[in-house]
């Protein structure tokens, strides 16, 4: 007896034998398992087990970066309020404080999407590319005298690159 992974939903199905038809209890997909003569069902399905390990680091990245982004939201929000107040008091015409608030909102929403879709499909990764990409663009373009905004924009850019890697890894 062996375990196989459903090709449709990646659900692990245990207790199957070669030549047996199996219905996934999660999505209902029906598959017929076959193994060449002399090869056990467990060794015939090692490729599907290998793909599980390759997706684990990306799910971990999404969880860690999502939590970190949500924590950074608080810091960036307070810094942006201070920068906006400084811009208003000095009457320098900069909008770096407002841009910082937008970057903070993108960090929060990107963090929530990252945690919520860490085991999902390409849609969550595309949403991350858009959210973090907007944060990076706003941060780099409108930083002005608020130099820390470039650091937060660089974090957004790192998250964009990781999301692009995640999209390209999924089939």
Whether residues 67 and 91 share a domain: the answer is yes
pLDDT digits (tens, 9 = 90+) for 77-129: 999 999 999 888 988 888 988 999 999 999 999 999 999 998 877 888 999 99
Q: Is 50 exceeded by the pLDDT of residue 53?
A: no
Tokens 């810094």 -> residue: 79
Whether residues 26 and 100 share a domain: the answer is no
Residue 73 to residue 105: CA distance in whole angstroms: 7
| Containing structural domain, residue 150 | 54-169
Q: Is position 49 within any domain? A: no
Angle at 97 between CA 95 and CA 100, to 5 degrees: 110
Q: At 35, is the pLDDT very low, low, confident or very high (cuts 50, 70, 90)?
A: low
Q: At 171, is the pLDDT very low, low, confident or very high (cuts 50, 70, 90)?
A: low
Whether residues 34 and 98 share a domain: the answer is no
Whether residues 73 and 148 share a domain: the answer is yes
Instruction: Compute the mean pLDDT over every residue in the chain, rounded to the nearest whole number.
Output: 82
Model's pTM, two decimal places? Answer: 0.65
Q: Is position 36 within any domain? A: yes
Q: Is 60 exceeded by the pLDDT of residue 52?
A: no
Give the model's pLDDT for residue 47: 39
Whether residues 15 and 90 share a domain: the answer is no
Whether residues 37 and 59 share a domain: the answer is no
Counting Cα atoms < 13 Å in the Cβ hemisphere of 169 gives: 19
Tokens 């906006």 -> residue: 84
Whether residues 70 and 133 share a domain: the answer is yes
Which residues are CB-neighbours of 104 under 8 A, at least 6 positions away? 72, 73, 76, 77, 80, 152
Which residues are CB-neighbours of 170 under 8 A, at least 6 positions away? 121, 122, 125
């Amino acid at each position: 007896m062996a375990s196989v992974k459903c090709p449709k939903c990646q659900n692990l199905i245990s207790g199957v034998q070669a030549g047996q038809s199996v219905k996934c209890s999660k999505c209902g997909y029906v598959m017929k398992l076959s193994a060449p003569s002399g090869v056990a069902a467990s060794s015939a399905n090692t490729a599907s087990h290998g793909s599980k390990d390759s997706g684990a680091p990306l799910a971990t990245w999404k969880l860690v970066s999502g939590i970190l982004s949500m924590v950074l939201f608080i810091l960036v929000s307070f810094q942006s309020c201070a920068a906006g107040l400084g811009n208003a008091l000095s009457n320098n015409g900069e909008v770096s404080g407002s841009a910082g608030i937008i970057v903070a909102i993108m960090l929060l929403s990107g963090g929530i999407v990252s945690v919520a879709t860490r085991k999902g499909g390409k849609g969550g990764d595309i949403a991350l590319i858009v959210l973090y990409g907007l944060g990076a663009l706003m941060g780099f373009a409108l930083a002005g005298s608020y130099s820390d905004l470039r650091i937060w924009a660089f974090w957004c850019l790192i998250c964009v690159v990781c999301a692009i890697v995640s999209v390209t890894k999924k089939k």
